[in-house]
Amino acid sequence: MAADALEQPPILALDNLKVSLFTRRGVLPAVDGLSLTVARGETVAIVGESGCGKSLAALAVMRLLPEPPAKIVGGAVRFMGRDLAALSEREMQRVRGKDISMIFQDPMTSLNPVVTVGDQLIEAILHHTDVSRREAGDRAMELLRQVRIPDAERRLDDYPHQMSGGMSQRGMIAMAIACGPKLLIADEPTTALDVTVQAQILDLLKELQTGAGMGLIIITHDLGVVAQTADRVVVMYAGRKVEEAPVEALFERPLHPYTRGLLGATPSAVRRRGGRLADIAGSVPALSDLPVGCAFQNRCAEVFDRCRAERPVLARLLPHQSAACFAAEEESSRHVAAVGT
């Protein structure tokens, strides 16, 4: 990513975003104070285990939260300076699909099974652009070629079930980029695809991003995907951001014990850093039963008394790296002191 892109105002800025789930067990903090930015041409990966809040954060940006039970209860979602949370639904419809697009986890459930892929592309183009249906059809065929679907003219008349998983995912990507969005959100874009097709899809996303200069958010639990695509990484746990760093820094020197656990459980990351494959003991606590203090305490090998009494806040511990961890703070302080002597 070019350095001058980072000097421009961000395309997207989440400022202390809070999303709650209103349930019979009470109000649960599904996304608790998430802040992040995405610059033009930048790829930001949001990683964490299932239930950490990463997909809900993406749906909040798109204003597609399932209401009820989910609702934005605080913070701001600023796109090109506009707070999306303050827009009416009619105003948001003009943004969604045109300026911001999203690739969902399962294309087979995201594409309409009774409408051809070509007609779905054409309708998306007609909804957001002032072109004729014939021009939209030509654009749809060009999009299928752009995402490298062979025999694009014939594939326009295919229904989703007539396509393989990889082709369906390419069809979803074609729909997402149909109107030249400034920001693309890809939620687990390679789930259920074999390794070869995964690599092709990730290469395609990066190629499309480079050509258009759009911002890209990739939501994943796979740090192998992160290593291949991201410029910057946000790690989430139990609804909160626990670490943020450039991708190289995160892989070379992860600060948070949870991040180290994720790396240790990822085969490609283990090969890259050396060592043995390991898992993280225990499971993510339920949002209705979060412990006092650090949410990761019951799974952490570095826990001490302060972790059980106070909730750590995100702090800048290295020049370009932040973490919410008391153990990381102490280690960072010792490192600074050693360098100073």
Is the per-residue pLDDT at 341 higher than 60? no
Summary mean pLDDT of the chain: 90
CB 257 within 8 Å of CB 327: yes
Classify residue 26: in a domain, yes or no: no
* Residue among 80, 71, 79, 59 at smallest CA distance from 29: 71
For tokens 């390679």, what's the residue?
190
> In which domain, by residue range, is 269 found?
255-280+292-341
Question: Is the entire prediction scored with pTM above 0.85?
Answer: yes
Parallel/antiparallel/unpaired status of strands 215-220 and 183-187: parallel
What are the beta bridge partners of residue 12?
Answer: 38, 79
65 CB-near residues (< 8 Å, 6+ apart):
19, 56, 59, 71, 72
Classify residue 317: in a domain, yes or no: yes
* Residue among 235, 165, 269, 210 at smallest CA distance from 41: 210
Can you tell me the mean pLDDT for 313-326?
95
Classify residue 321: in a domain, yes or no: yes
For tokens 């939620």, what's the residue?
187
**pLDDT value of position 198:** 84
Classify residue 233: in a domain, yes or no: no
Classify residue 296: in a domain, yes or no: yes
28: Cα separation from own chain's centroid:
21
Is the per-residue pLDDT at 306 higher than 90? yes
Number of domain units in the chain: 1
Is the per-residue pLDDT at 2 higher than 60? no
Classify residue 328: in a domain, yes or no: yes
Measuring CA to CA, how many Å separate 170 from each of 104, 114, 160, 201, 295?
A: 12, 18, 11, 7, 38
Tell me which amino acid residue 114 is: V
